[in-house]
Amino acid sequence: MRTHPRSRAVRVPGGLSLRLDPRALVVVVLLLAAALAAGVALIGTGDAKIPAADVLRTLAGHGTAYQDFIVRELRLPRVLVGLLVGASLGLGGALFQSVSRNPLGSPDVLGLSQGATAGALVVIVLMSGSAAAVTAGALAGGLLTGLAIYLLAWRQGVHGYRLVLVGIGVSAVLTAVNGYLLTKADMVDAARAVVWMTGSLNGRDWDQVWPLLALCAVLVPLVLAHARGLRMLEMGDDTAGALGVPVQRVRLVVTTGAVLLTAAATAAAGPVSFVALTAPQLARRLTRSPGPNLVPSLCMGAALLVTADWAAQRAFGADQLPVGVVTGVLGGGYLLWLLVTERRAGRI
C-alpha cells in the first residue's frame, strides 16, 4: 500500500499504531468549524432573528426565556438533524464509493434513496400513516433495498462494478414504482408525498434527533474501526486477502453500516440528494489523501447540508426552499462535471 508522503505513524497505548495525515487533520478541523459556524448562523435565521453572540449565550444557558424557547426548542433540533443527516450521508457515500471503487457509487445512484422513498410512499399513499409511520416506512424501504442489491450483486462475493450496475437497475425500477404510487394517491396524500420526496428539514424536532443520534453513536465507531480493512480493499480483493483482511466480512459490515446510515438519514429528512455523492469527492480533493477519507467525508457532509439549509432560507428572499432543492441543483452540476472529468480520464 502506498503511504501518503505527509502521513505519520503515531503509537497509542496497547501497542497499536495510528496513521495521521496533518493536512487531513487540518481539513477535518476546518470543516467542523465551518459546520458549527453554519449551524449557529442557521439558528439565528428566521422571522425572529437572533445575533450569533446571543445564540451562543443562549446555548450556554444565559439567554432570556424568549431566546431559550426559540433557540433550544424550535431551531436547535432542526440544526442537529441537519448535522446528523449530512454526516450520515457523507459517511455512507464514502463507504459506498470505497467498496465499489467508483466515484459514482453513492446511495443516490445505487437506489437506496429511491428504496426509502418507496417505503415512505407506501405508508403515505396506501395507509395514510402518521409522520412516525412514514419514518418507519422509509427506514424499512431503505433496508430492504440495500439487502436486495447486495443479494442480487452476490456471485462468489460482491464486486464494485457489479454492485453499481445492480444498484442502477434497482434504482430505475424503484423510480417507476414511486411514480406509479403517486398516480394512485389522492390530492392531499400526493401533495404530502411530494413535499417529503423533496427532502427538507422543516418541522424537525427532538423526536428525529434522538433516534438518529443513537444510531450514529453505534454505527460511526463500527465503520471507522474497519477503515484499515477498507483501505486495503481499494487495492483489490486478492491483495487485501493476501494481507490478512477478511474481505467479505469487511465488505458486509461496511455495506450494512452504509445502508443503515443512509436509510436513517432519509427517514429523518427525506431523500436529500447528492450530499452522499459530492461530500466524499470534495473531502478527497481537500485532503489529497488516498484511502476512503471517512472522517473528512463525514465532516464535509455535515457542513454541506447545514450550509445548504442556510442558503435555502436566505438566498431567495421571502421564498424559503426545501434544502433538497438546493443540494439537487448544486449536486447535479457537480455530477455533470464529475462525469466529464471521468470520461476525459478514460475511466467511463
Res 319 pLDDT > 90 = no
In this predicted structure, the answer to whether residue 138 has a pLDDT above a threshold of 90 is: no
User: Averaged over 5-18, what is the pLDDT?
Assistant: 52
pLDDT tens readout for residues 199-237 = 888 888 888 898 899 999 999 999 998 888 888 877 776
What are the tens digits of pLDDT across the range 320-344? 778 888 888 887 787 788 777 767 7
Is the pLDDT score of 304 beyond 50? yes
**C-beta neighbour count of 91 within 10 angstroms:** 33
What are the pLDDT digits (tens) for 63-115? 788 888 888 888 899 999 999 999 999 999 999 888 887 777 788 878 888 89
d(CA 40, CA 125): 37
Query: Using an 8 Å Cβ cutoff, are 153 and 163 in contact?
Result: yes
Task: Report the share of the chain in percent with pLDDT over 70.
Answer: 90
User: What distance in Å separates the CA atoms of residue 179 and residue 187, rounded to the nearest whole number?
Assistant: 14
Contacts of residue 185, defined as CB under 8 A and 6 or more positions apart, other chains included, come to 121, 124, 125, 193
Residue pLDDT, tens place only, 102-115: 777 788 878 888 89
Tell me the residue type at 173: V
Confidence bin at 6 (pLDDT 50/70/90): low
Helix 160-184 to helix 112-121 angle (10° resolution) is 20
Q: Give the pLDDT of residue 296.
A: 93
| pTM (predicted TM-score) | 0.86
Instruction: Write out the three cell numbers for 291.
Output: 484511502
